[in-house]
Amino acid sequence: MLKVLISRLGQAALVMLVVSAVSFVMFRYVGDPVATLSRENASVEEKAALRRSLGLDQPLVVQYGRFLGRTLSGDLGISYRNQRPVTQLIAERLPATLELVLVATILSLSLGIPLGVLCALKPHGVAARLVQALSLIGISTPTFVTGIVLILVFAVSLGWLPSFGRGQVVDLGWWSTGFLTVSGLKSLLLPGITLALYQLTLIMRLVRAEMIDVLSSDYIRFARARGLPTRYIHFRLALRNALMPVITVTGLQIGSLIAFAIVTETVFQWPGMGLLFIQAVSFVDIPVMAAYLLFVGLLFVLINAVVDILYAVVDPRLRARSA
């Protein structure tokens, strides 16, 4: 396990290095920071002074080193558009996105796993066929279309739920939560469902495929031959094997939920990091783009590490390697 851990750490470091390099290159070369930051009719001398003060006359490696140093100390630059520190912007937006992702993860796992098992156990039943058909529609419908349709039905036509924003939030120190007010919870509902739907179908299909695979394995045949009760075989034995890959995928899912939150947040004008990012992209607000990239990269690396460790804890074959 130590070996696995070390190789994973190496990979994580590699990912972070690539990500930081990309975001540094964006910072340095994409658009001209001097042109962006200086007045429109600045003189050549003024520009040169700015260039020096920004350290842009230093060798590349030094600049990259400084960039890394600044990043590690939490200074991610100033947004071109808002003229505020990027770290501050992200800190404000983070709770909104994470709460949305949390709701979506819980929804997709708590529905996806039972539905997948159902489809694997009774593959020719009416319910399984229906779920299968719906899941195909699910993966064929882009998140933003789901969102628009939900808004059309529940916000525009029925007027039951709000179509944009977080509703009322409660500030708990540096964290603002929508879980504690009725309007906050109502506001979470549509975006949460929208974000969860696509992931739900993926999890359901994965669980189904894994479960079918496991059910045809020799050790399940052997369990049947020992006359163990079917329910015991399905839910205590086979499900455990089938859920192993789900751990990995759920990790990746959380990552992709953060990415898909960009779309959901755009549709619902949800004040999270995704909306911040997409606005930065359309305004070519490089510091915000770079910071988002770094931040999301870090999040992914952390999630992947947690998943790997979890996997090693759950799977005895990996656990044994540490010995």
Partner 1 sequence: MKTLASTPGLFLRLGAPISVIVAAILALLMVACALLASLIAPYDPTDLASFELINAELPPAFATDGDPRFLLGTDNQGRDLLSAMLYGARVSIAIGGGAVLLAATLGVTLGLLAGYYGGRIDALIMRIGDVILSFPTILLALLVSGIARAIFPGAATAEWAPLILICAIAIHEWVQYARTVRAATMVETAKDYVRAAKVIGLPPRRIMLRHILPNVMSSVLVISTINLAAAVLTEATLSFLGVGMPPTYPSLGTLIRIGNEFVFSGIWWIALFPALALVILVLAVNIVGDWLRDRFNPKLRVKR
Partner 2 sequence: MTAPTPPVLAIEGLRVDYPLAGGEVFTAVENASLVIRPGEIHALVGESGAGKTTIGNTVMGLLEKPGRIAAGAINIDGRRFDATRGSAAGIVLGRDVGAVFQDPMTSLNPLFTIESQLTEAMRFHLGLGKAAARARALELLESVGIPEPRRRLKAYPHQLSGGQRQRVVIAAALSCNPRLVVADEPTTALDVSVQAQILKLLRDLADSRGIGILLVTHNMGVVAQIADRVTIMHRGKVVETGTTEEVLRRPKAAYARALIGAVPRIDQRLDRFPVLGDEGKGRAEEARAELRAELRARAQGPDSRADPSPILSVENLCVDYSAGGWLPGSRGRPFRAVDDVSFSVRSGEVFGLVGESGCGKTTIANVVSGLVRPSAGRVLYQGRSIAGDGATRRVGPLRQAIQMIFQDPYSSLNGRMRIGSILSEPILFYRLADTRAQAESDVARLIEAVGLEAEAAQRFPHAFSGGQRQRLSIARALGARPRLIVCDEPTSSLDVSVQAQILNLLKDLRDATGLTLLLISHDLAVVRQMCDRVAVMRQGQLLEQADSETLFDRPQHPYTRELLSLVPTLDRIRGEPKAA
Q: Does 225 bind partner 2 (CB under 8 A)?
A: yes
Q: Which is nearer to partner 1, 55 or 142 (CB)?
A: 142
Q: Does 244 bind partner 1 (CB under 8 A)?
A: no
Residues 88, 110, 140, 217: which binds partner 2 (CB under 8 A)?
A: 217
Candidate segments 54-62, 77-85, 94-102, 149-157, binder of partner 1 by CB under 8 A: 149-157
Q: Which is nearer to partner 1, 176 or 287 (CB)?
A: 287
Q: What is the C-alpha to C-alpha distance for residues 188 and 158, in angstroms, rounded to an integer?
A: 17
The three-state (H, E, C) secondary structure of 253-321, written as one string: HHHHHHHHHHHHHHHHCCCCHHHHHHHHHHCCCHHHHHHHHHHHHHHHHHHHHHHHHHHHHHCHHHHHH
Q: Does 315 bind partner 2 (CB under 8 A)?
A: yes
Q: Does 158 bind partner 2 (CB under 8 A)?
A: no
Q: What is the C-alpha to C-alpha distance for residues 250 and 254, in angstroms, rounded to an integer?
A: 6
Residues 237, 293, 298, 305: which binds partner 2 (CB under 8 A)?
A: 237
List Cβ<8 Å contacts ≥24 apart for 229-232.
none
Q: Does 160 bind partner 2 (CB under 8 A)?
A: no
Candidate segments 94-102, 170-178, 219-227, 304-312, binder of partner 2 by CB under 8 A: 219-227
Candidate segments 61-69, 144-152, 234-242, 293-301, binder of partner 2 by CB under 8 A: 234-242
Task: Report the C-alpha dihedral over residues 314, 316, 321, 323, rounded to 10 degrees.
Answer: 100
The phi, psi pair for 116, rounded to 5°, reads -60, -45
Number of other residues whose CB lies within 10 A of the CB of residue 121: 17
> How far, CA to CA in Å, does 259 sit from each of 24, 51, 120, 200, 295?
21, 34, 30, 15, 12
DSSP for residue 158: S
Binding residues for partner 2 (CB under 8 A): 3, 7, 10, 217-229, 232, 237, 240-241, 244, 315-317, 320
Binding residues for partner 1 (CB under 8 A): 11, 14-15, 18, 22, 26, 29-31, 123, 136-137, 139-145, 148-149, 151-152, 156, 163, 209, 212-213, 215-216, 252, 255-256, 258-260, 262-263, 266-267, 277-278, 281-282, 284, 286, 289, 293, 296-297, 300-301, 304
